[in-house]
Amino acid sequence: MGASATLRTLLLFIVMSLIFAAIGWLLGEFAMGGNWVLGVSIFLALAIIMNLVSYFFSDKIVLATYRAKIVTEEEAPRLHRIVRNLSQLSGLPMPKIAIVPSNTPNAFATGRNKKHAVVAATQGILDYLTDDELTGVLAHEMAHVKDKDIMVMSVASTLAGAISFASRTFYWGTLFSGGNNREGNIIIALIVAITAPIAAMLLQLAVSRSREYKADYEGAMMIGRPMALANALRKLEAGNKAKPMDFGNPSSSSLFIVNPFSGKGLASLFSTHPPMDERIKRLENLAGGMRY
């Protein structure tokens, strides 16, 4: 990884550990008889384990979460042809290709580095986009590979899921614990159950929005056709709203080129993607400038 990607990953690990330590302190203080040292120790140990797992296996976790299957050229000739051309244009090694068994039209990239990258597309996007539009989408994903975003975003999605799990553990541990201040414990548990997932989403916001704009730009420049991606984004926005993904983990939505989950209630306030209108506007402006 480059220095910037390494720093961002390290910051994610630090924030993850601090959030886990805070949850452990609250759990020890209010659900373990005031033994906050034990609570912090347990959750810091969990944080270390999760950091290691995220670093070495985040890509495998992501692929398994979305039931993605690595496919050969014989199984997916269209995808292999487009990605191979993009690989040659960008000077990147040919990544592995995977298909997600979902009718929701979408795509993402994951992997530890450009030599171990995987570009995944849903079955839905293959049926939904033209070759030109699909090339724009896959160029966007190859830009993420080129910029070393894939490791950071894969780690962020894995850690966000872990933080949400830890907050739920705290909630249920406090809910069923004894003690004289049961009502207070439940209130604190509810606060943590709400704020910890928000903290996880904020982690993703820190690494995804600016990277999406950059990947849009670099992907469009890679193929020299910004409108191919702009048209694809417009169709994908409508397609994902009409047919959101019905499996997987919303904490990993930042990996996808378009949010595949329906954003309702509080979740809509913490979108991991930039406004679609702004993304399309930037691409249209880029296309206008390239005509002269």
Alpha-carbon gap, residue 222 to 205, rounded angstroms: 25
Look at residue 265 in the predicted model and tell me its pLDDT.
Answer: 47
Q: Are 194 and 265 in contact (CB under 8 A)?
A: no
What DSSP string runs through 191-224? HHHHHHHHHHHHHHHHHHHHHHHHHHHHHHHHHT
CA distances for 265 relative to 202, 237, 269, angstroms: 16, 19, 8
- Binding-site residue positions for Zn(2+): 140, 144, 212
Q: What is the pLDDT along the chain (292 residues), one digit of tens a residue?
A: 555 666 777 777 787 788 778 878 877 877 677 788 888 898 888 888 877 877 778 789 899 999 999 999 999 999 999 999 999 999 999 999 999 999 999 999 998 888 989 999 999 999 999 999 999 999 999 999 998 887 777 777 777 777 777 666 766 766 666 555 566 666 666 666 666 666 666 666 666 678 899 999 999 999 999 999 999 999 999 999 999 999 987 777 888 999 998 765 444 545 568 899 999 999 999 998 875 4
Domains of the chain: 3-63+152-197 (no CATH), 65-150+205-290 (3.30.2010.10)
Position 76 scores a pLDDT of 98
Secondary structure element (H or E) that encloses residue 108, with its range: strand 107-111
- pLDDT confidence of residue 266: 45
CB atoms within 10 A of CB 178: 8
What's the confidence (pLDDT) of residue 39? 83
Active site residue 141: yes
Q: Distance between CA 267 and CA 39 in Å, rounded?
A: 29
Candidates 73, 141, 278, 284; catalytic one: 141
Q: How far is CA 158 from the centre of its chain?
A: 8
Sign of CA dihedral 173, 18, 46, 167: positive
